[in-house]
């Protein structure tokens, strides 16, 4: 028997007649064409709502594709920016802190939708003296010391939920010693650091920085406390800070809606 090679002239199936081999080739080619048409048809119909699948008996059955529900975007909950320019011994500021700021912060602070900034300076004045500052405050030297203490606490702890209890406590105190009791109550380990800051060059520098922020306001401050919501002075907030803060929030949170409904 001859060994088969790629160059062999004899057919691989010598026992099959040439005419039969031609029929076999035609059958194979025809089957391949039919299979290709079928596969193309299946691929074109894959995107139809009703799709085909193979059942256990080999039959084709229809099934419905799963309908994906449209995605509904959740409304963006905006933050509001609340800046309060104040001074430690101002009667109007003390009244506002007791009647408005504390109530609004207790109700809305936990919503995490208020960017709050307290700027203790008011109608003070600071003059640079070498590497230090000399400051005069509207209600005298004690007010400067307490303003400086407030600035030190705000600078040290940074977040309103941490410093607000101490600052609310300090407002309206008549001496630095009284104000330092608020530090003892809230940050006992920080007493010496805060006392040194309030009475030293760092406290005066922080007060001068608050003065720069206050001086940059337009229109210029002519009343304390000066309340700014989202970059605009809001005089109505002096009488109801909670209402004005709530109305600036979109969408209005349920807590605010309850409060606004209670005003009607």
Q: How far is CA 68 from the centre of its chain?
A: 30
Query: Averaged over 170-186, what is the pLDDT?
Result: 98
pLDDT band at 257 (very low <50, low <70, confident <90, very high): very high
3-state secondary structure of 186: helix
pLDDT tens digit sequence for 202-231: 999 999 999 999 999 999 999 999 999 999
What percent of the chain is predicted at pLDDT more than 90? 70
Question: Is the peptide bond between 225 and the residue preceding it cis, with omega within 30 degrees of 0?
Answer: yes
Ordered by start, the domain boundaries in the chain are 80-262
Report d(CA 33, CA 52) in Å as an integer: 21
pLDDT of residue 30: 73
Query: Averaged over 8-26, what is the pLDDT?
Result: 56
Q: Is the pLDDT of residue 39 over 90?
A: no
Query: Averaged over 160-168, what is the pLDDT?
Result: 97
pLDDT band at 264 (very low <50, low <70, confident <90, very high): confident
CATH of domain 80-262: 3.40.30.10
Find residue 117's DSSP bridge partners: 83
pLDDT of residue 244: 98
Q: Which residue has the tokens 């206050």?
A: 214
User: Angle of helix 191-199 relative to helix 201-215, nearest 10 degrees?
Assistant: 60
pLDDT of residue 28: 75
pLDDT of residue 50: 45
pLDDT band at 112 (very low <50, low <70, confident <90, very high): very high
Report d(CA 186, CA 12) in Å as an integer: 98
Q: Is the pLDDT of residue 12 over 50?
A: no
pLDDT of residue 15: 52
pLDDT of residue 76: 57
CA atoms in the 13 A half-sphere facing the CB of 142: 14
Query: Averaged over 129-150, what is the pLDDT?
Result: 97
State whether the Cα torsion 84-88-92-98 is positive or negative: positive
Q: Is the pLDDT of residue 201 over 80?
A: yes
Query: Averaged over 26-32, what is the pLDDT?
Result: 73
Q: How far is CA 107 from CA 123, 241, 260, in A?
A: 30, 11, 12
Between 59 and 192, name the one with better pLDDT.
192
Locate 250 and state its tokens: 């979109």
Report d(CA 190, CA 34) in Å as an integer: 87
């Amino acid at each position: 028997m001859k060994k088969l090679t790629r160059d062999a002239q004899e057919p691989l199936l010598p026992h099959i007649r040439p005419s039969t081999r031609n029929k076999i080739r035609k059958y194979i080619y025809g089957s391949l064409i039919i299979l290709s048409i079928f596969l193309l048809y299946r691929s074109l119909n894959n995107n139809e709502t009703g799709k085909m699948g193979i059942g256990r008996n080999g039959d084709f059955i229809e099934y419905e594709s799963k309908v994906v529900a449209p995605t509904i975007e959740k409304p963006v909950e905006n933050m509001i920016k609340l800046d309060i320019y104040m001074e430690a011994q101002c009667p109007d500021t003390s009244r506002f802190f007791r009647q408005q700021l504390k109530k609004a912060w207790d109700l809305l602070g936990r919503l995490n939708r208020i960017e709050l900034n307290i700027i203790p300076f008011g109608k003070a004045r600071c003059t640079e003296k070498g590497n230090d500052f000399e400051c005069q405050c509207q209600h005298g030297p004690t007010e400067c010391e307490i303003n400086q203490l407030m600035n030190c606490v705000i600078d040290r702890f940074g977040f309103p939920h941490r410093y607000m209890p101490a600052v609310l406590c300090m407002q309206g105190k008549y001496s630095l010693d009284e104000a330092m009791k608020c530090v003892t109550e809230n940050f006992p380990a920080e007493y010496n650091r805060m006392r040194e800051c309030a009475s030293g060059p760092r406290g005066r520098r922080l007060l001068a920085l608050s003065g720069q922020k206050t001086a940059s306001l337009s229109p210029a401050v002519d009343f304390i406390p000066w309340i700014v919501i989202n970059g605009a002075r809001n005089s109505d907030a002096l009488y109801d800070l909670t209402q004005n803060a709530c109305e600036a929030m979109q969408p209005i949170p349920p807590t605010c809606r309850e409060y606004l409904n209670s005003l009607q």
